[in-house]
Structure 1
Amino acid sequence: MFPKGTIYQSGKSPERADIKISLSFKRRLIYHFISKSGAGITAFMILSFLWTFLPVLKEEVYYDLGLSKDQPAKTESRIDVAEADKVIAVQKEAEGWGVNSYFSIVIPKISAASNVLANIDSGNKNEYTDALKRGVAHSKGTYFPDQGKTIFLFSHSTDSPLNIARYNAVFYLLRKMEVGDNIIVFFADQKYEYKVTEKLFAEPEDTSWLNYDSSQEKLILMTCDPPGTTWRRLLVIAEPLK
C-alpha cells in the first residue's frame, strides 16, 4: 500500500514530530477518479432501480386505491360513442322524412317536409325565387336553432293541389296549423322541436317580422295567403319545446 516506510523508530526518533504524507499527482488523480466513479455508480444504480420499479409501484398504488389510470379515457370514449349514436339517430329520422339533417323542416300535421336553404336575401327577388324552387328559404340576417333569437323561414303556397309540385308549395296547408301544433327543425345533425303559439296575418309590405326581436327563441314561418295570391302574409309563430 502506498506510501510505505518507517514512520517511528524507538530510541532514535524524537518524541514529537510532524508527519506529512503526500501522493504523487498521478496517484491523486486515480484516487479522485475512483471516489467520484463510486458515487456516480451508486447514483446510476438508484436511478435504474426507480426507472425499473416505479411503474410497478404506481400500478400497485392505483390498485390499492381502487383507481384506474385509463378510466378518464374510457369515459370520454363512451361519451363520444353516445354522441355519435345520437347523430346517427337524428340523421336516420330526417332521412325517414325525406330531408337532410343539415338544415330542414318537418310539419307532421300537414305532412310538409323540406330542406331549408340558409341565408337567402328576402329582398332579392331573383335569389329567393330560385331558392324557393328547391326548398324552404331561411331569411338572411335572422338566426338559427339554439341561438336564442328569431328564425325566419318562408315558402310558396298555391291555390291548387295541381300546382304544389310546380311551385314547390311546401307551406300549401300552413293555414291549417293551430296553437299547440308541433314543428320539427333539423339543423347541424341536431333535432329541435317547436310548439305553435300564435297564428296571424300581415300586409304584404309589412317586413317588420324579419327584424322581430324577442326575449326568447322563436320560429316564424311565412307564406302568402290566401294560397296562390299575394294579398296578405300568413305567419305561424312557434317557440321551442321545453
Structure 2
Amino acid sequence: MALYKYIKTYPKQSRRRGPKGRLVSGVLILAGFGLLIWALGPILTFQILSEELFSGTVSPLSRQDRAPNASRVLAAAEGPDDSFQNYLNPNVWFPSAPQLKVAQNVKEYTLSIPKLKIVDARVIIGGDSLEKGLIHYGGTAMPGTSGNSVVFGHSTLPQLYDPRNYRTIFSLLPSLKPAGKGYDGDLIYVTFDGLTYKYVITEMTVTRPSDISPLEQTYDNSYLTLITCVPPGTYWERLNVKAKLVPIL
C-alpha cells in the first residue's frame, strides 16, 4: 500500500513594486503627458485664437476637418512620410495653379523680418525645394513692381524654430501683426536686384489648401504675400500674410 505525504504550503505573495518602481512609473506617465502637451499645445492655441488673431478666415474648414488629430500632428516627430516630404516641394501646394517658368535675369533675392530675427533669407525664384530656401512662386510679380509677389516658406512646431533653418523658418509667422487698432504693422524687407524695399503687413488670413485666391494679382500697388502651413506642425490650412510696399517719401 502506497503511502502519501502531504506538505502544506502557502501561496507566494506577489511582489509589490517598491518606492523606486512607483517613482519610475510616475515619471514615465508625466513624460508622456508632457510630450502630448508639447506637441498639441501650439495647435490647440492656434485653433482657439485664430479667429481673434486674423482679420478673417476665408473658406473655413468644417469642425471635423479642423479637429486636431494626434497622429497627424506627431507625423513630423515620427519621421518624414511621403506627404511631409511632398510639402517641401511648393509645386504641390496649389496643383490647380502650377508655377510658371518665366525668363528672369535675377534668380534669387533676400528677405528679412526683424521681429522674427530672419536676416537675409534666401528666396529662390521658381524653386522646387523649401529645404534650400524660401520660394518665390513662379509667375507672380517681382518685388517692387505692381502686383503681388508670393513667397512660400516651410514651418513646423514653434518650439523647433530656427530662423536660419529653412525647414522651420516660417514657424513663427502667426505671431506677426498687421497694421490697425493703433498698431503700425510689422515690417518685411526685401532686397531685389540691388534695391531694398520695405513692406508693412496689412492683412493676415487663413484659407483652405484648395483656395488659390492668395496668388491673385492686383496691380494698384506692390504687394507681398508670405504663405505657410497652419496650424503649427500640420498642413491642414494656409496662413497668408499680406504686406504693402511702403512708399519712399
4+ residue runs of structure 1 moved beyond 6 angstroms? none
* Structure 1 unmatched runs, 5+: 1-101, 121-126
- 1:215–1:171 CA distance, 2 compared to 1 (3 A): same
Match of 1:204, SS?
coil
Q: CA RMSD in A?
A: 2.0
Match of 2:160, SS?
helix
Amino acid at match of 1:144: M
Q: CA deviation at 1:169?
A: 1.7
- 1:167–1:220 CA distance, 2 compared to 1 (3 A): closer
Partner of 1:105: 111
Amino acid at match of 1:106: S
**1:71-118: CA deviations, max 9, x gaps?**
xxxxxxxxxxxxxxxxxxxxxxxxxxxxxxx60110000112311001
Partner of 1:161: 159
CA distance in structure 2 between the partners assigned to 1:219 and 1:144 by the alignment = 9
Q: Which moved more, 1:171-180 or 1:207-216?
A: 207-216
CA distance in structure 1 between the partners assigned to 2:195 and 2:189 by the alignment = 10
* Structure 2 unmatched runs, 5+: 1-107, 179-184
Q: Is the 8 A contact 1:142 1:152 kept in 2?
A: yes
Match of 2:210, SS?
coil
Which is richer in helix? 1
Q: CA deviation at 1:170?
A: 1.2
Partner of 1:232: 237
Amino acid at match of 2:242: I
CA distance in structure 2 between the partners assigned to 1:176 and 1:148 by the alignment = 27
CA distance in structure 1 between the partners assigned to 2:146 and 2:166 by the alignment = 32
CA distance in structure 2 between the partners assigned to 1:219 and 1:191 by the alignment = 13
Q: CA deviation at 1:160?
A: 4.7
CA distance in structure 2 between the partners assigned to 1:187 and 1:221 by the alignment = 16
Higher RCO by CA contacts (8 Å cutoff, separation 6 or greater): 2
Amino acid at match of 2:117: S
Amino acid at match of 2:192: F
Q: CA deviation at 1:188?
A: 0.7
Match of 1:209, SS?
helix
Q: Identity of aligned pairs, percent?
A: 34
- 1:118–1:196 CA distance, 2 compared to 1 (3 A): same
Partner of 2:173: 174
Q: Is the 8 A contact 1:158 1:167 kept in 2?
A: no
Q: CA deviation at 1:167?
A: 5.7
Q: CA deviation at 1:214?
A: 4.2
Partner of 1:117: 124
Q: Is the 8 A contact 1:182 1:195 kept in 2?
A: yes
Q: CA deviation at 1:224?
A: 0.4
CA distance in structure 2 between the partners assigned to 1:186 and 1:232 by the alignment = 29
CA distance in structure 2 between the partners assigned to 1:212 and 1:149 by the alignment = 5
Tell me the matched-pair count: 133
CA distance in structure 1 between the partners assigned to 2:244 and 2:152 by the alignment = 17
Amino acid at match of 1:201: V
Q: Is the 8 A contact 2:221 2:245 kept in 1?
A: no
Match of 1:236, SS?
strand
Which structure is larger by alpha-carbon Rg, 1 or 2? 1
